[in-house]
Structure 1
Amino acid sequence: MVKNALQAQLLKAGLVDNKKAKKLSKQAVHEKRTGESNEAEIKAKIEQDQQQKMAKDHALEQGRKAVLQEKELKAAIMQMINQHKIRDTDGESTYQFIDDSKIKKVYINQQIYNALVAGSLVIARENCSYAFLPKPLADRINAKMEGFIIVNNSENNEQTTDEEDPYAAYVIPDDLMW
């Protein structure tokens, strides 16, 4: 026999069985008789659960904000690359470079080729193609986020030679055509 309407509904829904319903009703009667109640424990547990949920939600929100900021930064860099790239680069000279462990070849004019070898221009990744950018702009892009600049020959020009190297007098030019 069920004494509580809620217990009757739970039994009808199949969420509890007769044994569990009797146990709950006996427990309620015992709490009334002895005056013991777990209300403080239940409230503390609820409060703790709410704080954990808030902390979890806060961490998720911070993650979403970080992803959104990264997307915005990438979009801003792509816009900078698109606005400042050198447009007329077609020519007969070939320039080969490594991108993602693959050798890529671009056909450029001699003026762009000389600027690339000297280090005043760099090659940047622009979506699925490549763009030629001035060195100061490339430095600004690298300061914001790395990974867009593929070829930067100004770093190679500043290398020092080893004094004990027997071939130090024989410098290999960067613009050597094979």
Structure 2
Amino acid sequence: MAKPNPLQEQLLKAGLVKKSKVSEVAREQLKAKHGKAPAAATDIQREAERVRAEKAERDRALEMERKVKARSAELAAQARQIIADKKVPRSGDIEYRFTADGAIRTLLVDEALRKQLASGALVIARQGDRYELLPRAAGDKVRERDAALIVLDHGKAADSEAAESTSEDDAYYAQFQVPDDLVW
């Protein structure tokens, strides 16, 4: 057993503490003195931890990027499937011209399809290197998934132009009549 220090001896002589209590405190002090202290982290351990944290962050970023790519591929596949399922069969001998990718393209349609295209009831969507006619509802679904696939939509263009024009312009241009048979 460790020898009690002078203060402990004085407390024992004065009768303020018991010998068992002094022994217990002495044992605890001895353990604290000779016990193992937690080892300080070395430079190598800190560097290894930093590298682990950087790798975990890189892995999280790569996983997020992979998920974004997978989601965009999934949306593109859904858009292609909607176009394939909802396309309107074309027939006719009237050429309907529109611009896509900076070039004028032509679809052969009949009079009913031409009127629906002009009114905005039908939209033109790109599927690969072909162009398909879609009803407005299907065109809106495709636009939600991949807006770049919608090539021509007279309904949306009319909405945005109407919002931008003023009543003053409308009154001025109302005096000019546009011929009904204007087809370019």
Q: TM-score, normalised by structure 1?
A: 0.70
Q: How does 1:82-121 map to 2 (within 5 A)?
A: 82-87=84-89, 89-121=90-122
The answer for the alignment partner of 2:25 in structure 1 is none
Question: Is the contact made by 2:120 and 2:153 (CA closer than 8 Å) also made in structure 1?
Answer: yes
Match of 2:36 in 1: none
Structure-2 residue corresponding to 1:22: none
- The residue aligned with 1:127 is 128
- Select 1:163's aligned residue among 149, 161, 168: 168
Structure number, greater radius of gyration: 2
Percent identity of paired positions between Structure 1 and Structure 2 = 29
2:75 to 45, 54, 73: 73
Task: Structure 2: state its 5+ residue gaps.
Answer: 1-38
Give the structure 1 partner of residue 182 of structure 2: 176
The 1:66/1:151 distance shift into structure 2, 3 A limit, reads same
Alignment partner for residue 52 of structure 1, among 54, 58, 64?
54
Matched AA of 1:58: R
Structure 2 CA distance for aligned equivalents of residues 174 and 45 of structure 1? 78
The root-mean-square deviation of aligned C-alpha atoms, in Å, is 2.3
- Distance in 2 (alpha carbons) for counterparts of 1:136 and 1:72: 20
Greater helix fraction, Structure 1 or Structure 2: 2
What is the Cα deviation at residue 173 of structure 1? 5.7
The gaps in structure 1 that reach 5 residues or longer are 1-36
TM-score normalised to structure 2 length = 0.68
2-structure distance, mates of 1:42, 1:171 = 84
Secondary structure class of the residue paired with 2:168: coil
Ranked by relative contact order (alpha carbons within 8 Å, sequence separation 6 or more), the top structure is 2
How far 1:137 sits from its partner (Å)?
A: 1.4
Whole-Å separation in 2 of the counterparts to 1:131 and 1:175? 24
Check conservation: 2:124, 2:134, Cα contact below 8 A. Answer: yes
Number of equivalences: 141
8 A Cα contact 1:123 1:150, kept in partner: yes
| Deviation beyond 6 Å, 4+ runs, structure 1 | none
Q: By how many angstroms is 1:76 displaced? A: 0.9
